[in-house]
Amino acid sequence: MKSTSPLTLGEFIIDKQADFQYSSGELSRLLSAIRLASKVVNQQVNKAGLVDIIGAMGNQNVQGEEQQKLDVFANEVFIAALNNREVVCGIASEENEDFIDVRTGENSQKSKYVVLIDPLDGSSNIDVNVNVGTIFSIYRRVSQDGPVQLEDFLQPGNKQVAAGYVVYGSSTMLVYTTGNGVNGFTLDPALGVFYLSHPNIKIPTKGKIYSINEGNYIKFPQGIKDYIKYCQEEKEGRPYTSRYIGSLVADFHRNMLKGGIYIYPSYSQSPKGKLRLLYECNPMGFLAEQAGGKASNGFQRILDLNPVELHERTPFVCGSSEMVEKVEEFMKNAERNEKS
């Protein structure tokens, strides 16, 4: 008899384990650790306005950004969940300058996986109650046994075995891929259970939403300026709508469901843009491609970039495939004009 209740995330992970090339059960346990941590963080995010957990700790993280208490809390929760279950051998986080070797127990000594994480993206929105999110990226280690090495983390995005995000908002969702499509799960807060609510998500090939911080317009490369003007023209179904929350996970999630494009370009003060390649752009790029979309740095596929530093930045253009292609067209034309 067909089950009437929707699949839970736990059931889904087990069901799909067989799809996964390396199905030893370890990746399933890793995803379950992330599931647990996201519930713990969600509980604090949802009551952040009620307890004295808002407000900067007076510290700064490795990015030199004011560290919100929830940033620190989320980082500790995810590291603890992954560490305690001994499902990974190494972790890199936006909140930590160096990667962490977590081969503490017998099992983690044998673990094949490393995780890179942005534990609470969009944290500047925490105290104004706007959606924030967690982003994670999972690789198989490339070094042999023994201590994890920097090379285990500096892998191109096309080597990811899984990636996903949690968006903490009006409802909390966990969205992830293991390379066989993208599925979204919504948390029932009363039961503490994630249910499959968005099976096999596909990004529309084009949309009418563009997400970019237009306050930086005068600093943008010419190709981006040209694309913004294109979005605003009154023809061929335009102007598009500008929607920018200031939280990558929230903007990406909306654009993935409705169609649209998110752009964080290079600009004069930051020639590599703002977003981090390893734990923001690669996981979101993997998800976008698995959902039929695209992710680029304006000129080439994000997942083909070869990282050289743990916290390196990259310009980021991601979302509906035809919209990303149009940005790349403007970028190439502008570059050609500048050279001529």
Q: Distance between CA atoms of 313 and 299, rounded to whole angstroms?
A: 15
39: which DSSP letter?
Answer: H
Provide the token pair at 14: 């087990």
Nearer CB in complex with ligand P6P: 174/248? 248
Q: What is the smallest separation between the CB atom of 246 and ligand P6P, expressed in angstroms?
A: 5
Residues in contact with ligand P6P by the rule CB under 6 A: 121-122, 124, 213, 246-248, 274-275
Shortest distance, position 15 Cβ to ligand P6P, whole Å: 32
Task: Quote the least distance from Cβ 212 to ligand P6P, whole Å.
Answer: 8
Q: Which is nearer to ligand P6P, 161 or 174 (CB)?
A: 174
CB of 210 to ligand P6P, least distance (A): 13
Whole-angstrom Cα distance, residue 106 to residue 160?
25
Cα-based angle 124, 242, 129 (whole degrees, multiple of 5) = 30
The minimum distance between CB 248 and ligand P6P, in angstroms, equals 3
Minimal distance in Å, beta carbon 81 to ligand P6P?
A: 22
- Nearer of residues 90 and 273 to ligand P6P, judged by Cβ: 273
Nearest residue (CB) to ligand P6P, 263 versus 291: 263
Q: How far apart are CA 215 and CA 194, in angstroms?
A: 37
Scored b (16 or more CB within 10 A) or e, 198-223 reads eeebebbebbbbbbbeeebeeebbeb
Contact in structure between 152 and 142 (CB atoms under 8 Å): yes
Pick 254 or 274: Cβ nearer ligand P6P: 274
List, in order, residues 6 or more apart from 234 with CB less than 8 Å away: none
Return the number of the residue (114 or 248) whose C-beta is nearest ligand P6P.
Answer: 248
